[in-house]
Amino acid sequence: MLTKKMLRRKLRLIFMGFAIPALVIASLTGCAADGVNNGHRTNDGKVETYGHDGYMGYSNSNPNLPNNKTFLNYETDRKLINQVLQPIDGIKSSRVAFNGGDLTVHIKAASNLTDAQLEALRAKTEQAVQLNMPRYHVKVKASR
């Protein structure tokens, strides 16, 4: 049978077994957190935070990093391809089709070109587009 003294001793041991480690853990984690979850310290000890832009401050801390959802899209790619194709002589019109990572460019050439000139124009166009669009597998189709 447990006496009051033995019961108090057991309760004290249980309390010490749980309370002291909990206090140690709470004090250690409290010292590590300075209340700033998104920033850095400067040399004078001030905390500077980055803006909350939905990317955990990455686009504000690295402004040249294109991690915006609208940075890379088909419309801007289409405009760039049309700019690349403008200086190439012999192209009357062009059509661009995207299929995931595949890019197909249909060019309509001048009707007075020979087959060899048409093939050279197709190869030149493919090389220019592939150079400017390295993230796509480029295929160029040429017709008169």
The residue count of the chain comes to 144
pLDDT of residue 141: 95
Q: Which is more confident, 91 or 72?
A: 91
Q: Which parts of 62-144 fold into alpha helices (H)? A: 74-85, 115-132
Left if phi > 0, otherwise alpha if psi is -120 to 50, otherwise beta: which for 15? alpha
**DSSP label of 54:** S
Q: How far apart are CA 50 and CA 73, in angstroms?
A: 26
pLDDT tens-digit map of 20-64: 777 777 777 655 444 444 455 566 767 666 565 555 555 555 555
26, 18 Cβ separation under 8 angstroms? no
Specify whether domain 74-143 bears CATH 3.30.70.1350.
yes
Q: What is the mean pLDDT of residues 9-26?
A: 77
